[in-house]
Amino acid sequence: MPPHGRELRPSGSRSAYAGTPGAAAVAGGPPTSTTPPPAPRAAPRSPTPCRPRRLPGLRVHARFSSSPQNSLAIIRPLAEAGFIAPAPHFANLSGQDVYNGNQSKDVSEVITRTLALNTAGDPLAGHINTAVGVGVSGHSMGGMTTHGLLTAWPDARITAAIPMSCVGMGNPSPSVRAKVLFTHGDRDGTSPISSARQAYRELPAAKAFLTFRGAGHSNYFGDSRTVNTFVDWMRWSLYGDTAARDRLRSDATSSTTTWERPELRSSYARLRTRAHWP
């Protein structure tokens, strides 16, 4: 049992989500939406296999009635990119668990248990680089859980985070130094984009914000722009993949999206010289 007594049920098929040994994703699924997603700009690319012995990028998603199967649009590309993708189901999740920190703390427990497989009698033993940090992400309450891990209930192991359709959960913690990508629909009636934008402004670089103009709370979730940007953000943040870093702008750009990284405006020449940002 996790530290707060709420059951974490495995998805039942971890092998379905296992990529090249060395990286990982934890997930549930987005809410069912009757609104069709926006037309994709292009089909998601086939990710390039990654070298072994990289650390898990743990993708965490949580929402009422969610399931790992509802997040396969993100989980499978992550696994194909070389991330290990365990997918626990957070049973009996409530909004109170998110706001009081229990959910963020349970996610930290998932991270601990996944990293422990590196020394356990498990096929992943010896294949996890525990020195480079982990990545987390989630949609809606999962996005709030993710932001909570950067703020009110920090986990210093996190070096990459993608809060999707979230509201802010507190002030940034100095103990967490992560590259953070926010994604949000500007017509989200459930999680106001204004709260996510405030959370974005408060965080230090490196960070980015991808807005889907005209989109609501969840209908951009499986869009190719979401998937491509998501995977390349994790590849860059956890693998140090500079080719993925250089693709981010084109991944996110379309006639109905806005891609922002304000630090470019003040230090573009210096960063370009150092080849730190595309």
Closest CA to 138 of 96, 176, 104: 104
pTM, rounded to two decimals: 0.79
CATH number of the domain enclosing 92: 3.40.50.1820
DSSP 8-state assignment for residue 57: B
Q: Has residue 1 been placed in a domain?
A: no
Say what the pLDDT of residue 105 is: 94
Tens digit of each residue's pLDDT (9 = 90 or more) over 213-269: 999 999 998 899 999 999 999 999 988 899 999 999 999 999 999 999 875 444 444
For residue 232, the enclosing domain spans 8-31+49-274
Collect the ranges in the chain with pLDDT lower than 50: 1, 5-55, 264-278
Which residue do the tokens 């997930």 mark?
27
Q: Has residue 2 been placed in a domain?
A: no
Say what the pLDDT of residue 58 is: 58
Residue 204: exposed, middle, or buried by beta-carbon count in 10 A (0-12, 13-18, 19+)? exposed
Cα 274 to chain centroid distance, Å, stands at 26
Q: Has residue 39 been placed in a domain?
A: no
